[in-house]
Chains A and B, each alone.
Chain A
Amino acid sequence: MIAASVPKVELSQISQRFGEALALEPTYLSIAAGEFVAVIGPSGCGKTTLFNILSGILSPTSGTVRIDGEETTGKPGHVGYMLQKDLLVPSLSALENITLGARLHGRVSKQQREEAAQMAAHYGLGDFLDHFPHAMSGGMRQRVALMRTLAFAKDVMLLDEPFGALDSQTRLEMQQWLLRVWVETGSTVLFVTHDIDEALFLADRVVVMSPRPGRVSEILDVALERPRGLDVLTTEPFMSLKRRALDLIYGREPGNLDSSGSDS
């Protein structure tokens, strides 16, 4: 057990300006080890800015990023990172793409290859290790991309709409698959999505952001039991959380909603 006083990821007073425009208001966010946090909000709400700051490729105008209590502001290489585009290197096989992190730091050792292959096989990619990306389906490619993220840094993973380009059936499969990976690896996950169902289905907490300037407008606790099956999507607690989120995003007052009474 990690002491509750040291969060896995902590953003303090992070803000970002691009010229005159304020892309992100000073933001505080703390994520516990092993927590699954989703971020939803319309485009322009600063999600991508937040991600680039967390991954270290963007230095914020103000504020600090801490991972395990250690400051990593503006320093890349501490967290895994995955986008809607799989960004697989077309000239590398699935396994070579999974070990991309090691390749980018020099040679891929035999042990790294073995471990990556074992992990990929465990998560259903065993038959595709030697395939080039063009020979794989969209869902498979996203699995490879997630394995690449895991192989590089399984502690903290930033997933920016990773399933956004998949058809809805594949997406449902991928969500359940991701939950399995998350449970088994104990990763801390920050997951950006446009899809409220996806956010509520996956996450422990949902950070709702709003645009101009980008800011955190509310954080919803998703107190739904785990493991979650697809049937959770139609339960009353899920529905009331969804109504809440819709109201937050589209800016209506939650006045006449019959809430389940216990969500605050």
Chain B
Amino acid sequence: MSRGVAVTPRASRRTWLTLLTPVLSILGLLIVWDLVVRIFSIPKFVLPLPIDAFATIGEDWDSISRGIIATGQVFTLGFVIGAALGFVLAVVMASSKALFQALYPIMIVSQAIPVVAIGAALVIWLGFGLAPKLVVVAMIVFFPVLVNVLDGLRSVDADSVNLARAMGASRWRNFLVIKLPATLTPLFSALKMSATFSVTGAILAESLASTTGGLGVYLSTMQGRFNTPGVFAAIIVLASIGLVAFLLISVWESAATPWLRTSVVPRRRRFRRGTS
């Protein structure tokens, strides 16, 4: 206990540093961008100053905020659906060798087909609504989650599973208590990776299957008008969406996997003698 208290000040200073460092490095990136434009006198229609790009976000906030909502919806829903499908399928495939051998080739083929090609077919089948866009994003998230969760499930020591069996555990309990925790780290790796890919997926989907609304549409409109600050405004907003998603998943990961960072369980799980 006393050791835990002694560690706290240093730990909290580290927390601040880990929060501050990325902010500083992104700020640095913007400064380099700014300097490059000024030093080489790059014209605004080739590469605008960061401040111009941010100004455009302010000016176009009406259409950009609508774009964030529309694209955010595609991104979030597609991400959740893809991740959930990937996870469930991994669990199903890990439960039987025959199922694994039957399904794995199909999964790989599904990834070998370019998403753009699938997207074109989806527009024909599903029209220009939300559905084809969700499918495109889900397809991007689905595969890394599937592969990583499968790896996690297969990394569990067979002796651990046998031990639980020897203790009379049902298959379900064995899965829940022994196997499920082993999927968390690889699952979160896949989610973090896909968080950034799926933004690309959402934009791609919008360019294939949208006429109004999203940031993808805003982006192509600006491109059509040779409005470079507008294009960069969209780029900044899109990058921010990916970044926020990444951060949210990282925070969730920290909360879900305390054993990777601390030596003692979180307070609510600690043992207190004789209390309610």
Interface majority SS (helix, strand, loop, mixed), chain B? helix
With a CB–CB cut-off of 8 A, which chain A residues contact B270? 93, 129-130
In the complex where A89-B177, A132-B263, A134-B263 touch, is A77 in contact with B167 (Cβ < 8 A)?
Answer: yes
In the complex where A95-B271, A134-B263 touch, is A57 in contact with B166 (Cβ < 8 A)?
Answer: yes
Binds B, one of A32-40, A79-87, A209-217, A234-242: A79-87
With a CB–CB cut-off of 8 A, which chain B residues contact A70? none
User: Among A81, A130, A135, which residue has its beta carbon within 8 angstroms of that of B166?
Assistant: A81
Q: Does B154 contact A (CB under 8 A)?
A: no
Q: Does B92 contact A (CB under 8 A)?
A: no
Count how many chain B residues have C-beta atoms less than 8 Å from C-beta atoms of the other chain: 29
Q: Would A104 and B181 count as touching, CB distance under 8 A?
A: no
With a CB–CB cut-off of 8 A, which chain A residues contact B162? 52, 57
In the complex where A113-B271, A129-B271, A132-B259 touch, is A105 in contact with B169 (Cβ < 8 A)?
Answer: yes
With a CB–CB cut-off of 8 A, which chain A residues contact B164? 100, 104
Q: Would B263 and A117 count as touching, CB distance under 8 A?
A: no
Q: Does A96 contact B (CB under 8 A)?
A: yes
With a CB–CB cut-off of 8 A, which chain B residues contact A76? 165-168
Interchain CA distance A79-B166 in the complex, whole Å: 8
Q: Does A90 contact B (CB under 8 A)?
A: yes
Q: Would B262 and A89 count as touching, CB distance under 8 A?
A: no
Interchain CA distance A56-B166 in the complex, whole Å: 7
0/1 interface trace, chain A 77-120, chain B, CB 8 Å (1 if under) = 10101010101011111011000110111100000011001000
Interface range on chain A: under 10, 10 to 19, 20 to 34, or 35 or more? 35 or more
Q: Does B178 contact A (CB under 8 A)?
A: yes
Q: Would A57 and B259 count as touching, CB distance under 8 A?
A: no
In the complex where A104-B173, A105-B168, A152-B167 touch, is A85 in contact with B159 (Cβ < 8 A)?
Answer: yes
Q: Does B60 contact A (CB under 8 A)?
A: no
Q: Does A55 contact B (CB under 8 A)?
A: yes
Q: Could you list which residues of chain B lie within 8 angstroms of chain A, going by C-beta atoms?
A: 157, 159-160, 162-169, 173-174, 177-178, 181, 184, 257-259, 262-265, 269-271, 273-274
